Amino acid sequence: MGFFSRNRSTTAVAPAATATTPSATATATAVAVDPALAALTGDYTVDASHSRVGFTVRHAMVTNVRGSFADHEGTLRLDGSDPSRSSASIDVRIESVDTGIKDRDAHLRSADFFDAERFPLMAFRSTAAQQLGGDRFRITGDLTIKDVTRPLSIDLEFNGSATDVYGNERVGFEGSAEILRSDWGLTWNAALETGGVMVSDKVKLTFDISAVKTAPQA
């Protein structure tokens, strides 16, 4: 699978089978695990200061409002030998919502929308990872907003891995997903005199994640 293919070095492939090769079929299909990919296996912590969890929603039928949640934390479990066994979790603090307008942010925190006082967190927990091709994959899991949990699939691209100037091993991902906010009980709206509504039901979630590998415990 290409979960980490951007960091891929030359992969060793078993020689083609011949009539004299023992177990010809098994040998021909055997592929060695790439050490460079296997080296990425481990636990990672999302670096919130270099990551972004955002959203885009249509406003008044004619333009888009963009915002983000500054306060979030998460973990990744990457398996470079079998990427389908990788997993992710993230918790987002609703109080940190920021669209650049204080009154609008206060409205989003209110009971009309997120009701942040009663439901302070939005959470995602993965349940599966699927290869889409190249550096693209899809991670599926459960998204919880206002105590409503529904399945969500996020299409992501692996941006690569590197060691930063402080010696931290980093990986990067970016991706997006579309939801209907009404599915999670976010139903407030207002009708426009010209027709239509103030806030679209469809919301695009965006993720730009930088994560640092956690040192193994002694």
User: 212: which strand partners?
Assistant: 45, 170
- The pLDDT of residue 26 is 41
What would the pLDDT profile of 141-200 be if each residue is shown by its tens digit?
Answer: 999 999 999 999 999 999 999 999 999 999 999 999 999 999 999 999 999 988 899 999
Given a contact cutoff of 8 angstroms between Cβ atoms, the answer to whether 74 and 92 are in contact is no
Asked whether residue 17 carries a pLDDT value surpassing 50, the answer given is no
Residue 70: pLDDT above 90?
A: yes
pLDDT, tens only, 81-140: 888 899 999 999 999 999 999 999 999 999 999 999 999 999 999 999 987 877 888 999
pLDDT of residue 35: 73
Q: For residue 81, which of 41, 115, 112 has the smallest C-alpha distance? A: 41
| pTM higher than the cut 0.95 | no
How many residues does the structure list for the chain? 218
Q: How far is CA 201 from CA 102, 144, 147, 208, in A?
A: 22, 17, 19, 23
